[in-house]
Amino acid sequence: MRITRQAYDEIRGHAGEGYPYEICGILVASPGSDRVDITRRVRNTMVERARDRYEMDPRDQIRIQRECDDAGLEIVGYYHSHPDHPAQASITDARRSWAGPIYVIVSCVEGQVVDGNAFRAVQDGGPMHQEPLEVLD
């Protein structure tokens, strides 16, 4: 998975601002491109377990899908943070995953992103396998 430095820095900034809660968002690319150029923040609607769970606001998802459609762009994946935990796909992440999209997870410790990894589900509901994550300058 390839992502521009600007897009990756946007994820890092979002995770730092949202700490100590999980944040989430959408990864966007040009059609047919293997490079994520754009991120879009999505509100985490999870209240009771926001430190270790996220639920994407469906209104944000619909709005972003429409914006992408209008601009001729594609949603290619999703991102979220793991506050004070490793940037590894959890059992919950795998169970809620779909085959196809890329999932970027960043580890945010005391408000600073210390690691990030990309994953792809083999089939809907997992398992998930780590993919190379290349940040482009």
- 22 and 80 Cβ atoms separated by less than 8 Å: yes
Distances (CA, A) of 58 to 27, 45, 62, 65, 108: 16, 9, 6, 10, 25
Give tens-digit pLDDT for 87-137: 999 999 999 999 999 999 999 999 999 999 999 999 999 999 999 999 998
Active-site residue, from 10, 22, 55, 134: 22
* pTM over 0.85, yes/no: yes
22 is catalytic: yes
Pick the CATH number of 2-136 from 3.90.1580.10, 1.10.3430.10, 3.40.50.720, 3.40.140.10: 3.40.140.10
Tokens of 1: 């998975």
